[in-house]
Homo-oligomer: A and B are copies of this chain.
Amino acid sequence: MNGFIYDIPVKVYFGRDQLGHLGEELRKYGSRVLMTYGGGSIKRIGLYDKVVAEINKAGLQLFELGGIEPNPRIDSVRKGAQMCKENRIDVLLAVGGGSTIDATKFIAAGACVDFDPWDFIDLKKRAPIEKALPIVDILTLSATGSEMDSGGVISNPETGDKIGRLSSKLLPKVSFLDPTNTYSVSPYQTACGAADMFSHIIEVYFNMEQDLYMLDCFMEGMMKTIIRFAPIAMREPDNYEARANLMWTSSWAINGFIDGGRQLAWSCHPMEHELSAIYDITHGLGLAILTPRWLEYCLDETTVSKYVQFGVNVFGINATLPPMEIAHKAIECMSHFLFDTLGLKSTLTEVGIDESHFEHMARKAVGGGTLHGFKPLQQQDVVNIYKMCE
């Protein structure tokens, strides 16, 4: 069992009617605020006006950068970093989902350097992130967990890359998590978000390194929470209990807590990033398609015990059945949840992806070598998994 450092100093205001604290939190960092957001849904739900009112009330000066795209692009980061420099911004306020927050993280870092912010991301350069402007966020989509983690994923359409980067400097200072801000999320996006957070847990849970049983229990609890509340949130978009459970789960699924000392790489995320880098599909949907096939591919006598634990504790499968039978049933239950309950498309073909880029994407997913995850995967393994998804 490995040691680890736990260090997640994000302050979270959770629940309705917490926005009254926004002004006081922003003011801790200065008076010039750059608000970032996406396609404008925050205007439709009335959140934009509430935020502006709080900022005015606190006597802060507001600058704005809207239009940050899903699978956020380096050009938005460049534009935001430039705005920060030109306007001597003190603090960033990201209002949106994971894409907006991810882009804002690299805007915050880009504002502090003279070089192109793509150099932070580019696998050949990986410029050190030594400082970043402070970030406050208001979350509007439960999915990526960016509100409580230190990472972000940025796409570069010119190079065809979609790459993540972690740095403790990118951790938000304060996150406002109001479940009512997710009431307008469509059933489809709710399903994709649920699949995304489910995958974050699966990537850590399926791991043959021995680690803390307590953390396995937490992960099983979060998976049960998603299974219980995602369908409710899809049917009843303004069910507070469902939205609240999904929201807090999204943060804890990926803030690093459940990792304990586990050091293995993730598997489905790198495979998916290549899909959405080329085809711009929704990240959670790509993960949903890949995850059950990846689990099927990795199942053997050396790994079956983890599937048994998963099947029994998460799906309530009878523990007295033969291990391989439990494992297959567990994968079936998971596929049923993703494709029937959440109603997500189940094949790459259905989302318009064919095999033409499989080799290329697989090579990039394994970084030209081996992906050291739950089971080590080489380029050909990833191609095989993509093919299972057709």
Contact = CB atoms under 8 A, between A and B. Distances in A.
A13 interface: yes
B6 A9 contact: no
17 contacts: A2-B15, A3-B16, A3-B18, A4-B15, A5-B11, A6-B12, A9-B9, A210-B241, A213-B245, A214-B225, A214-B249, A215-B248, A217-B218, A217-B220, A217-B222, A218-B218, A248-B260
A12 to B, nearest CB: 4
A62 interface: no
Contacts of A214: 221-222, 225, 245, 248-249, 252
Contacts of A11: 5-7, 9
Q: By CB atoms of chain B within 10 A, which of A2, A210, A212, A240 has the most?
A: A212
Count chain B CB atoms within 10 A of each CB in A5, A6, A229, A261 and give the residue with the most.
A6
B5 A244 contact: no
Nearest to A222: B214
Contacts of A9: 9, 11
Contacts of A241: 1, 210, 213
A387 interface: no
Nearest to A221: B217
**Interface extent on A, as a size class?**
35 or more
Nearest to A17: B3
Contacts of A217: 217-218, 220-222, 224-225
B4 A14 contact: yes
Interface in A196-245: 210, 212-215, 217-218, 220-222, 224-225, 228-229, 240-241, 244-245
Contact of A248 (B18, B212, B249): B212
Contacts of A14: 3-6, 260-261
Interface string A1-42: 111111111011111111000000000000000000000000
Contacts of A210: 241
B16 A12 contact: no
Contacts of A4: 14-15
B1 A5 contact: no
Nearest to A178: B3
Given A212-B245, A214-B222, A217-B222, A5 B12 contact: yes
A217 to B, nearest CB: 3
A241 B260 CA distance: 13
Contacts of A7: 11-12
A252 B2 CA distance: 19
Contacts of A16: 3
